[in-house]
Amino acid sequence: MPEAEKPVAEKKESFWTTLPGILTGIAALTTAVTGLWVATGPHSTIKDSVVVSTAAPATVTTPQAGSSATPTASAPAAATPAAHTGVTVISRKGVTTHLAAATFHHNSTDDAIQLSSGQTIAFEKIKAIDFLSVDDNAHLVAVSVRLGSGATVAGSLGRDYAFQGESDLGPFSIFVSDARQIVFQ
């Protein structure tokens, strides 16, 4: 009696080479990248507020957590910004550095600052930036921005970014968290 033929074992395909496996891998990678972005980047928070006033100095207000208060702003009269000739940077340690305005820039937004609320303000509109408290947990520095029009805008900047420029001694760089004040001349 002939011996029954044994079936040939089929070669199993790896799960990761199937469509469900590929889709699972893409989903895992997307989740990991998104988690890394959330964990490391400065993002908009409820702490930011915008207060615009034509009177100087202005009072800065921040909505309390859990409140439904919405930041308010009144439009100041339009002012034509003059070209800056220089920038003075004062560190939290009290060191003053004078820079050429043409070389001064933010290492992320170039010739502007972007508050964590999403508001972007060009340097040409800014008279001074006062750096207030540093929130290490949120990686933010509270700022008060005085505009050339006399208005004041309050908000936060990412703590780990830097301002750079050229002084008469050479290249200069300062982290946002190390600055106390920047004045545009």
pLDDT digits (tens, 9 = 90+) for 17-38: 888 888 888 988 888 888 877 7
CA–CA distance, 156 with 113 (Å, rounded to integer): 10
Look at residue 7 in the predicted model and tell me its pLDDT: 60
Average pLDDT, the chain: 78
Which one is predicted more confidently, 37 or 114? 114
Reduced to 3 states, what is the DSSP secondary structure of residue 45?
Answer: coil
22: amino acid identity, one letter: I
Look at residue 169 in the predicted model and tell me its pLDDT: 92
66: amino acid identity, one letter: G
58: amino acid identity, one letter: A
pLDDT of 76 above 50: no
Show me where the domains of the chain are located: 12-41, 86-184
User: pLDDT band at residue 144, thresholds of 50, 70 and 90?
Assistant: very high
Q: What share of the chain is helix, strand, coil (3-state, %, to 5)?
A: 20, 35, 45
Look at residue 59 in the predicted model and tell me its pLDDT: 41
pLDDT tens digits along 82-98 = 578 899 999 999 999 99
Look at residue 124 in the predicted model and tell me its pLDDT: 92
